[in-house]
Structure 1
Amino acid sequence: MTSIAGGHGEPNPNSSWLSARGFWLAYLLGLLSVHLIFLSVPFVSIPWAWTATNLLHNAAHLYFLHVIKGAPWLSTENDPSRRWTHWEQIDDGVQMTTTRKFLTAVPIVL
């Protein structure tokens, strides 16, 4: 287990905040805020606002969780987290955790 340079903090703060208390509420409120911004644009119908919210969310989800690789806070070059995507770093790669289930269910429900 590698820690941040200096020896303080989480082993990998790149993904530990996803399991933090209040993350789900903040995530859903952010998603609702984006949807309300789309609804506030004149001449935008409700179905178009939902479609735009879904497309923006899924594009951001794809890019930030599945395209970007690495963990900028880790100090060693041989740490496997440097080669993993953000999705692979969540809960140290353990599958079917509550965080991963939540992040899988939101795009499906949206």
Structure 2
Amino acid sequence: MGDVTADEFDNRNVAFLNGKGFWVFYIATILVFRYLLFAIPILHWRHCAWTVVHQIHTAVTFLLFHWNKGSPVAEDQGVYDEETFWEQIDRGTQYTTNRKFLTILPVIVFLLASYESGWNVDLVVANTISLAIILIAKSPYMHRVRILGINKD
């Protein structure tokens, strides 16, 4: 038997994205996190709770989707060792429904954060920088690109 390639079997590492209810779960997780932040009785920062959600969401998704490589599934036999989670989604096909959803969600959180802050310039700038970082990482022209060789191995 020859070498196993990524196209010969479904990648169980990202298969859950196609499952029923994943999108609802993902949105619900963000909303629950936002609610928990609102429930914290620190009155002077309630106007920027969505900004906190946006910043944390950006950091977590960047690390989990665009930094971590490989698959924890043993049956993959190292086929995905050089690919990030984002690169594994839908076998690397661009502009799929999953990728569109995972791209538009940070934009929506950005808009909620900017609106809630009353379009405070400092917060909008911080949110815009975070949004730019995550959208650039999700761009098709960044597929398998490692800037300055960072995270190449």
TM-score, normalisation: structure 2: 0.62
- Residue pair 1:15, 1:90 contacting (<8 A) in 2 also: yes
Query: Please, which runs of 5 or more residues in structure 2 have no aligned partner?
Result: 110-153
Distance (whole Å) between structure 2 residues aligned to residue 42 and residue 2 of structure 1? 52
Q: Which residue of 1 aligns with 2:24?
A: 25
**2:47 equivalent to 1:51:** no
Distance (whole Å) between structure 1 residues aligned to residue 47 and residue 107 of structure 2? 17
Which residue identity lines up with residue 64 of structure 2 in the other structure? F
Q: Which residue of 1 aligns with 2:60?
A: 60
User: Structure 1: which 4+ aligned runs deviate by more than 4 Å?
Assistant: none
> Percent identical across equivalent pairs?
34
Which runs of structure 2 are paired with 1:1-110 in the superposition (5 Å)?
11-44=10-43, 45-75=45-75, 76-77=77-78, 79=79, 81-110=80-109
Of the structure 1 ranges 40-49 and 12-21, higher mean CA displacement relative to structure 2 is found in: 40-49
For residues 30-49 of structure 1, give each alpha carbon's deviation from its aligned partner in whole angstroms, at most 9, with x where no partner exists. 00000001001112443211
Higher helix share: 2
Distance (whole Å) between structure 2 residues aligned to residue 100 and residue 94 of structure 1? 9
Of the structure 1 ranges 38-47 and 66-75, higher mean CA displacement relative to structure 2 is found in: 38-47
Q: Max radius of gyration: which structure?
A: 2
For residues 64-86 of structure 1, give each alpha carbon's deviation from its aligned partner in whole angstroms, at most 9, with x where no partner exists. 00000001114323x2x121000
RMSD of equivalent CA atoms: 1.8
